Structure 1
């Protein structure tokens, strides 16, 4: 290497270092994050999909958007003392009709405000069907957990970087439009970015339509997504949560989880384990000095329950958002292994969900316990 090349290399390294510093500096300081968290109530809610929708597309497309049903179900949430919901958006609906999509988001936010709920909005999702299609969605597959849930972006866009500019436009438009909206709690950039869906659409599944390099593309998407969201300058915190791996230290984390912890304003995570495992995960993440919110938990047969996890979380001031709310087209009363074996009747123990479609609690003692914990 000659002297000129050496100077250029040094200059490039300095420039990249400056970009890296600017990117990391945009993350909220722990003080700012904790000051924000002190102004929040103890956050309790569910991942929300109305019973009338099989996936994000059916929830948000104009012809199937169901504000009456949404209003009813948010009323159930309010009755439990819930004050947040985690809600998945979809880039395809925006691409089809951005103006109409945002009008429906406004309707949804107004309904949330009516019921004293501030949702966390999820921009992308790496789980389940990698081939989403607009229009009328198929009927649920009998007895199969999340038989119609779709990824966003789908494989066709995720695998083609020349199409990622539209994803950037989607993030900047949605986050930018609502960057000062106090009805929104936070932004979740990508759900489980490196999930390969091995047992459903991946290598062990029956359908096998997953991309072979899906995990790496998911890592790249979440890193890009954080940057796009930062460009929109939201006043709400941004996050994306680890869901597997060793979180005991930055050194032991993989690249994905390390990035999430070092770039999220508030730390979110998923855990479907029993109370002792949940408590261990909380301790691992609280060491980073930021607010902690569990954005997925509660799978009764796996030992993750409201009675087991909520008392720990309340004592540790950890926000809690369980998977599943009202049993409906999502079929999430059935377990994950319903992709491997057939269920023809209601399972003896529901996997997820709290209410039947008519609003009756699945387990009245369970909803009474949630009310006790929230002070409702």
Structure 2
């Protein structure tokens, strides 16, 4: 606490001073980024990790998944059962800061319920804290209905644009990150923490016209702080944030935000929706870091990114794999990204994402059989 001529500076509130003291004390105790040796020692204890990015069919976005009125344990239990039947042992699951802000105790209870259901099905999720994709104006309460035939028509960013622009809200965001990671810092039901999904995503044709031009600059400065907040909780699980677009072949070609992601991550993660040869080249590019690799998004059939093409390569290099989409539902990710600019009036001839129809039957039986053949222990 600083003392100025004439006494204590009265312009700083007691609450602000307390928050500063807590922050400084916690930051001093932040654990360091894992070394290659630490990361590989952790990874050595894991089975080959295969899962999906998971949202129940009844939820249009993260808020609808986690809010009390729409938290759907029946479908979560059923759908994670489908995952277990495929031999999947992990899922990537997105939280939302507003779900915590509205009802933190209830939020914890629902996360615990989810983790217990996942544990029942032998699944350890990778938890995503923040996300820069899709709608920049999240609102709590009842979520709107899906726009017909439009990919991810209701997914929302966390934090939203207003919070990003308002530095006074960073105290709230810091509290959220520290509290949630602290609560589960030693929880063996959790695989790891994905600190920020696609932090520099400007949302393409969906919401790009509504995005602030300096969004990436803001997040590039904020992201290291978020890593620090999360590490201050001393999690036993790894932290990561996945690079997703750009040239990763040399450090000199990395964007500033990618340097933050790769330098601050305990384990390396990335996204790839390309054909097998490009997918393999991406793995080789990132192998120079000498750390375990997680491909936290892949599988877009019309792009040439498929289970049959990607999983054998990933198994060869022991890269963890999380395909996008699981059960077709309110997210409508069977439709392609271009459904924001191109009109669709029926189920597309080839699904973009997802594995199961709403009734639990496979979209393609040969895919399901192939996934099972890859995940079964020999």
Same fold (TM over 0.5): yes
1:336 maps to 337
Asked if 1:234 corresponds to 2:235, the answer is: yes
Deviation at 1:224, TM superposition (A): 1.6
Q: Is the 8 A contact 1:123 1:188 kept in 2?
A: yes
Separation in 2 of the partners of 1:288 and 1:157? 33
1:236 match: secondary structure: coil
Q: Does 1:101 align with 2:107?
A: yes
* Equivalent of residue 92 in structure 1, options 93, 98, 104: 98
Shift of 1:24: 10
1:121 is aligned to 2:121: no
Q: Cα deviation per residue 1:208-261 (whole Å; 9 max; x = unaligned)?
A: 322221122222232221011011110100000100111112122111111111
Residue 42 (structure 1) aligned to one of 37, 42, 48 = 48
Deviations 1:95-114, CA, capped at 9 Å, x for gaps: 00100000000000000000
Q: Distance in 1 between the 2:157 and 2:121 partners?
A: 29
Report the equivalent of 1:15.
none
State the distance in 2 between where 1:106 and 1:220 align.
32
Change (3 A) 1:295 1:23: farther
What residue number does 1:8 align with? none
In structure 2, C-alpha distance between the alignment counterparts of 1:212 and 1:199, rounded to whole Å: 15
Question: Which consecutive segments of 4 or more residues in structure 1 shift more than 3 A?
Answer: 22-25
Matches of 2:77 and 2:117, distance apart in 1: 6
What are the superposed Cα offsets for residues 39-62 of structure 1, whole Å, 9 maximum, x if unpaired?
000000000000000000000000
Matched, 1:57 2:63: yes
Q: How far apart are the structure 2 equivalents of 1:74 and 1:33?
A: 28
- Provide the C-alpha distance between the structure 2 equivalents of 1:200 and 1:220, rounded to a whole number of angstroms: 25
Aligned to 2:12: none
Quote the Cα distance in structure 1 between the aligned partners of 2:300 and 2:186.
35
Separation of aligned partners in 2, 1:198 and 1:315:
33
1:24/1:245 CA distance change after superposition, 3 Å: farther
Q: How many residues align?
A: 350
Contact between 2:335 and 2:352, CA under 8 Å: does it hold in 1?
yes
Aligned to 2:185: 179
Q: 2:344, 2:217 → 1: CA distance? A: 33
Q: Deviations over 1:137-176 (max 9, x none)?
A: 0000001000000000011101111111100000000000
CA contact (8 A) 2:49 2:88 kept: yes
Structure 2: gaps spanning 5 or more residues: 1-27
2:137 equivalent in structure 1? 131
> Residue 68 of structure 2 aligns to a residue in which SS?
coil
* 1:142 equivalenced with 2:142 (yes/no): no
CA distance, structure 2, for counterparts of residue 36 and residue 131 of structure 1? 38
Q: How far apart, in 2, do the equivalents of 1:199 and 1:247 lie? A: 25
TM-score if structure 1 supplies the norm length? 0.91
Could you tell me the TM-score, scaled by structure 2's length? 0.91
Written as runs of structure 1 = structure 2, the 5 A alignment for 1:243-254 is 243-254=244-255
RMSD: 1.2
1:77 aligns with 2:90: no
Q: Which runs of 5+ in 1 are unaligned?
A: 1-21, 203-207
1:320 counterpart residue number: 321
Residue 295 of structure 2 contacts residue 322 of structure 2 at CA under 8 Å; is this kept in 1?
yes
* Match runs of 1:17-32 below 5 Å: 26-32=32-38
